């Protein structure tokens, strides 16, 4: 079983749509959780950290359920510029980042 699992997509959505990505992780000792965004042929960049209480940054909302070992990202009012791969990332108890395979999002006009 992979340490971090994501649906690879692709998710093809129209502008203005709401889209949700899910992720599960296997190590219950994991302490920190993130969503990174990666554009085609570019490096990953931090989109947002994920906290147990849930957190929001503009159109983006992240949720963490430690009991189910489940992380989610919700994007509201999708823009063309949101098209990218979204990587679910878990910081293990040995302080290394474990990445999921990524979920590809394509927003069309």
Partner 1 sequence: ETGVTQSPTHLIKTRGQQVTLRCSSQSGHNTVSWYQQALGQGPQFIFQYYREEENGRGNFPPRFSGLQFPNYSSELNVNALELDDSALYLCASSLPGAMNTEAFFGQGTRLTVV
Residue 19 to residue 75: CA distance in whole angstroms = 5
102: exposed, middle or buried (C-beta count within 10 Å: 0-12, 13-18, 19+)? buried
Among 11, 102, 105, 107, contact with partner 1 (rule: CB under 8 A): 102
Site string for partner 1, 5-44 (x = CB under 8 A): ---x----------------------xx-x-------xxx
Q: Which helix (H) or strand (E) holds 74?
A: strand 70-75
- In the complex with partner 1, which residue's Cβ is closer, 72 or 92? 92
- What does the binding site for partner 1 look like in residue numbers (CB under 8 A)? 4, 8, 31-32, 34, 42-46, 49, 87, 91, 94-102
């Amino acid at each position: 079983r992979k340490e971090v699992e994501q649906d690879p997509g692709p998710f093809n959505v129209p502008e203005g749509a709401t889209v949700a990505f899910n992720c599960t992780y296997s190590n219950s000792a994991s302490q920190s959780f993130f969503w990174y965004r990666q554009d085609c042929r570019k490096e990953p960049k931090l989109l947002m950290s994920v906290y147990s209480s849930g957190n929001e940054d503009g159109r983006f909302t992240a949720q963490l359920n430690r009991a189910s070992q489940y992380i989610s990202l919700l994007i509201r009012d999708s823009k063309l510029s949101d098209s990218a791969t979204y990587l679910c990332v878990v910081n293990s108890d040995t302080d290394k980042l474990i990445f999921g395979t990524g979920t590809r999002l394509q927003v069309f006009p």
